[in-house]
A and B are shown apart, each in its own frame.
Chain A
Amino acid sequence: SQKIEQNSEALNIQEGKTATLTCNYTNYSPAYLQWYRQDPGRGPVFLLLIRENEKEKRKERLKVTFDTTLKQSLFHITASQPADSATYLCALSISSGSARQLTFGSGTQLTVLP
């Protein structure tokens, strides 16, 4: 069966450290993968997109890697700050019928401790 797993429900790290979140998937062949941030009581907000033929993508303090052999994406936040505390969702873009769908993982709740 198809499955998307994000490494843990919750991750606590100290301010200034690098947070690393994992997204693993099975039985999918996504064209690309997206990462979103969701704050309590809000909808997800798009952060980064990486294509299947890209190994790495960066945006400011964020870095995403995509290994289609391992079927895994890693999401890094360097020099983390308490304001980075949120739930982070990975989403695979797959074709379904006449539309592309995003299939989401259940998220990792990150807490950056001051």
Chain B
Amino acid sequence: ETGVTQTPRHLVMGMTNKKSLKCEQHLGHNAMYWYKQSAKKPLELMFVYNFKEQTENNSVPSRFSPECPNSSHLFLHLHTLQPEDSALYLCASSQDAQGVGLGKNIQYFGAGTRLSVL
């Protein structure tokens, strides 16, 4: 186990549904990340939270809404998604998103949520 837990592992939703993905880390880290992984494409960074503050939003559509209530928990709220949003959504954590010290930017990933939008 990596110390990062994602739920649910699989999710099927219609385009009009609202659902949430959950991520929890037990590593004492201060930074958490959401990535999208589509087939044959590199991981796409979506959001970065450092010490509960959002530091990056890589032009993600507003139908994806992140929430970070504390350094251990991260949510991704989904609403009115499109079929092209179907992908593996990965959560990761690291000691510190500013990562100045060596190793602080090493990321620990959860197993992901496989999302299918019908």
Chain B associates with chain A: yes
Residue-wise interface mask of A (75-114) relative to B, using a CB-CB cutoff of 8 A (1 in contact, 0 not): 0000000000000010001001111111111110000000
Give Cα A97 to B31, complex, Å: 15
Count A-B contacts at CB 8 Å.
Answer: 70
Segment at the interface with A among B12-20, B37-45, B73-81: B37-45
A interface SS class: strand
Q: How many residues of B contact A (CB 8 A)?
A: 29
Give Cα A107 to B48, complex, Å: 22
User: Taking beta carbons and an 8 Å cutoff, which residues of A are in contact with B?
Assistant: 4, 9, 32, 34, 41-46, 49, 51, 89, 93, 96-107
Contacts A41-B111, A93-B105 known; 12 new A-B pairs at CB < 8 A: A41-B112, A42-B111, A42-B112, A43-B110, A46-B107, A49-B102, A89-B43, A97-B55, A98-B50, A98-B97, A100-B100, A103-B42
